[in-house]
Structure 1
Amino acid sequence: MKKFGISRQALVAAVFGAAAVGTLVLSPKIFSPEAGAQPIAIEAPGGAPLSFADLIERVEPAVVSVNVVSEREVGKLADMEQFFEQFRGMPGFDEFLQNRKQQEEDNPEPETQEARSLGSGFLISKDGYVVTNNHVVENATEIKVTLKDGRELDAELVGTDPQTDLAVLRIKEKGTYPYVRFGNSHDLRKGDWVIALGNPFGLGGTATAGILSADGRDIGAGPYTDFLQIDASINRGNSGGPSFDLNGNVVGVNTAIFSPTGGSVGIGFAIPAELANEVTQAIIKDGRVSRGWLGVAIQDLTADMAEAQGLKDNEGAIIADVTNGSPAEKGGLERGDIILSVN
């Protein structure tokens, strides 16, 4: 599971900011409603489940644990100098360093060692195609998936797309497997329930529940993904697992967490279902994802820009630059053009 840290300065600012808000005294006069105005109130939603057990029971057979053996390069001496500093002065340590340095000079080829990692995935077809994260199976030499019934089956890598951190596997053993389908994350609203299933810390068959906290999140993990933010608990090992809506449709592929501690703090990120579906189908068909190139740099269209152009609203994007010789230049696009839709 990928993590995103937070600086000490940001934490201090957040703590003092919260403290400042906490000590602020609000005047009732300032916040009193205008004459005749009514406070916002709604009826409690009906039909919400008292338990997610039926949903989980139906979809869980399609969720798998992914066990990976990979070859990873052993750290060079130069990369470990900061770690070794704490052992300076210990008897025999300088001799150890000298011997290690000599070994690296005698064997310039990088040394590798076997590594094992865990992740999650889910079946999307009856013939055994499995979706997971690219970072779960990266550099894999052996992949096995464990089904709900306890069977551990060999799987082969069909293809990956590092730019969206998605990968597709296929179970080698022929058979008919339970599978789930992708839904549409656009049908979710902030506050809707989501259920995450996966293999956190090797504890397969784990389910957690939460809500869609936000959508359209940019976490700096590539140019193609606006992540869903969910507060259902996801941890190391949940990577590649599904998040479901209450109809049992996959609405996201759990991929990353934001965590100052290394564990879940209620801020997780999932790849939206519609993007995951498009990418995985391309991988199944061609073994890879091919992307077109337009050759423009764009930026958000602000309200001031829209007003200057005589537009009613600021929907769309403005072209900030056009690459020489690009398809965009050949097609007649120019700097300052405003893109309202894409065919």
Structure 2
Amino acid sequence: MLKRKEFILGAAAGLTLAAAATAGGVINWPGAHAEPQAVNRITPVPANGDSFTPPPGAPNSFATIFEQVAPAVVQIDVTVKVDQPQGGAFTIPGLPFQFVPPQGRGGQGDEPQTTQGAGSGFFISQDGFIVTNNHVVADATEIKVKMSDGRELPARLIGRDPGTDLAVIKVEGNDFKYVSFEETAQPRVGDWVIAIGNPFGLGGTATAGIVSAKARDIDPSGYNDYIQIDAAINRGNSGGPTFDIYGRVIGVNSAIYSPTGGSVGIGFAIPAETAKNVTTRLMQGQTIERGYVGVGIQDIPPGTVGALALPADTKGAYVGEVTPDGPAQRAGVQVGDIVVQVNGRNIDGSTELRRMVAATEAGQNVRFTVIRDGRRQEINIRAAKRPSDEELNVATGGDDPQKAPQGPAANTTVEGMKVAPVNAATRRQYNLPADIQGVVVTETVPGSKAAQLGIPTGVVILRANNQILSGPADLERAIAAARSAGRPGVLLLVRTPQGNRSVVLELPRN
């Protein structure tokens, strides 16, 4: 599970000390029993004969780097309001249980509950501008900055960008030590890094490691190509810097991949190039705006190329939804289009398309090259300003179709699926909107390809091989046409509670 390290909240963190555990009271110390010498054991010999001098290319110590840059790194303490429902119990973000205040507190009419959180940040100017993560300060009602020399200063929010998870805060003053982003020299996989921050509220902590990978696409919004590092970062490190061995900021620590919630050596930092661009604009009082065309996209599903008889090297993004009266729909983009180029540049998938559209200013034209019905065509779209995440996250409406009450339906079995037309009866049965057309899956046959795909009851199949479906007969015809053409599968566009998705249903060979 991907976890963000926004807070160390509530009570102090517990420490577990490593100790020698014995069963039966016997400890086998190293060397207590002599082992025969291993003939094939490889014993590296230092080239310079000094066992404590690192090999060429490795730093003797990170101490000098830490001493130089630590004054620019700060601990950020925030006060956050916590919603308290009737009855008094409330959940503190980051803790897996509810907290119930002492008797007599937490009832109706009480003051809103607050909790304390902590993160990291670093000065990027002499006059007090500090970079951190958006998720550290987004809901804060009070922000305080604790410096390495012990000073504690109030801070105010200057600006934030949820899309890249970056924010800028400021303290008053004009004599702060600060660091700079490294934009020109790109770190390589294997290069040394040092992370400094405030894990678990401890403050002033340095960890070291290497760049493990680059251009990690773990961001749902798709605006960051993360640097992966193995220097330990934990809760409270969010917003802190990752330095190279010259003390230049190459990234902003933001997330970890962890099954436990603690560091397992897989951390992610926002690249300096992105952080520099966004934070500079925030410091200038600008609002981060991105282009928007109004399409729901995904990577081309496996099997689509064969199902649609496209060239084997086809890459791009599949259009699963088009926002009514949005820029894309007005320009002529249709559900089922496969976008293979943006502004004449080939794209590998949906992430690249999303970033290129986001980089387009409102009012500018963006040109899509799409494949539709096996033919290429170009569509010019006038981009609009991207709405806020809150506006885009409006609920799609309707209950989970898997929980819908069951009732009689006129079913037709097609390729391991029992399907029924979308009509007044199935709309009521599966709580479907009035404008949905297609066929609804009422059951899947165990062991069938449809069952293996995990197609749930209540899902509506909107299209088959990009042909609009008005009933089960249309689905049967689309599958028959794919078979007669010798195609290995049929591309289905399905409606789910999370939005439209495309999947390829394999066709068994006769």
| TM-score > 0.5 by shorter chain | yes
Cα distance in structure 2, aligned partners of 1:264 and 1:153: 30
Cα distance in structure 2, aligned partners of 1:160 and 1:269: 19
Structure 2: gaps (5+ residues)? 7-53, 346-355, 361-510
Cα distance in structure 1, aligned partners of 2:220 and 2:87: 29
The residue number in structure 1 matching 2:4 is 2
Cα distance in structure 1, aligned partners of 2:68 and 2:133: 23
Structure 1 residues 1-343: aligned runs within 5 Å:
2=4, 46-77=56-87, 103-104=107-108, 107=109, 112-172=112-172, 174-184=173-183, 187-219=186-218, 221-300=220-299, 305=305, 317=317, 322-330=322-330, 335-339=337-341, 341=345, 342=356
Mean Cα displacement is larger for which, 241-250 or 44-53? 44-53
Change (3 A) 1:185 1:198: farther
How far the C-alpha of 1:170 sits from its partner, in A, is: 0.6
How far the C-alpha of 1:70 sits from its partner, in A, is: 2.7
Cα distance in structure 2, aligned partners of 1:224 and 1:330: 26
Cα distance in structure 2, aligned partners of 1:128 and 1:3: 24
Superposition TM-score, scaled by structure 1 size: 0.70
Cα deviations by residue, 1:302-326 (Å, 9 ceiling, x for unpaired): 89859x7669x66665655554433
Change (3 A) 1:79 1:47: same
Change (3 A) 1:79 1:150: closer
Cα distance in structure 2, aligned partners of 1:316 and 1:46: 44
Cα deviations by residue, 1:274-325 (Å, 9 ceiling, x for unpaired): 222222122222353222212234444689859x7669x6666565555443
Counterpart contact for 2:132–2:168, Cα < 8 Å: yes
Superposition TM-score, scaled by structure 2 size: 0.49
Cα distance in structure 1, aligned partners of 2:212 and 2:297: 28
Q: Select the structure of larger CA radius of gyration.
A: 2
Cα distance in structure 2, aligned partners of 1:80 and 1:141: 18
Counterpart contact for 2:5–2:238, Cα < 8 Å: no
Cα distance in structure 1, aligned partners of 2:141 and 2:328: 41
Change (3 A) 1:83 1:230: closer
Return the structure number with greater relative CO, CA threshold 8 A, min gap 6: 1
Change (3 A) 1:310 1:118: same
Cα deviations by residue, 1:145-171 (Å, 9 ceiling, x for unpaired): 122222211211112222322211011
Cα deviations by residue, 1:245-280 (Å, 9 ceiling, x for unpaired): 223221211112223333222122222222222221
Secondary structure, counterpart of 1:77 in structure 2: coil
Counterpart contact for 1:259–1:265, Cα < 8 Å: yes
Cα distance in structure 2, aligned partners of 1:45 and 1:190: 18
Cα distance in structure 2, aligned partners of 1:197 and 1:80: 33
Cα distance in structure 1, aligned partners of 2:124 and 2:265: 27
Counterpart contact for 2:72–2:176, Cα < 8 Å: yes
Counterpart contact for 2:316–2:339, Cα < 8 Å: no
Counterpart contact for 2:242–2:249, Cα < 8 Å: yes
Residue type of the partner of 1:52? Answer: F
How far the C-alpha of 1:222 sits from its partner, in A, is: 3.4
Residue type of the partner of 1:254? Answer: N
How far the C-alpha of 1:215 sits from its partner, in A, is: 2.8
Secondary structure, counterpart of 2:284 in structure 1: helix
Secondary structure, counterpart of 2:279 in structure 1: helix
Residue type of the partner of 2:341? Answer: I
Residue type of the partner of 1:260? Answer: P
Cα distance in structure 1, aligned partners of 2:97 and 2:170: 40
Change (3 A) 1:337 1:235: closer
CA RMSD of aligned residues (A): 3.6
Cα distance in structure 2, aligned partners of 1:287 and 1:113: 33
Counterpart contact for 1:121–1:132, Cα < 8 Å: yes
Change (3 A) 1:240 1:298: same
Structure 1: gaps (5+ residues)? 5-43, 88-95
Residue type of the partner of 1:134? Answer: N
Cα distance in structure 2, aligned partners of 1:255 and 1:58: 23
Cα distance in structure 1, aligned partners of 2:324 and 2:65: 53
How far the C-alpha of 1:68 sits from its partner, in A, is: 1.5
Residue type of the partner of 1:202? Answer: G
Cα distance in structure 2, aligned partners of 1:305 and 1:181: 46
Mean Cα displacement is larger for which, 136-145 or 177-186? 177-186
Counterpart contact for 1:195–1:208, Cα < 8 Å: yes
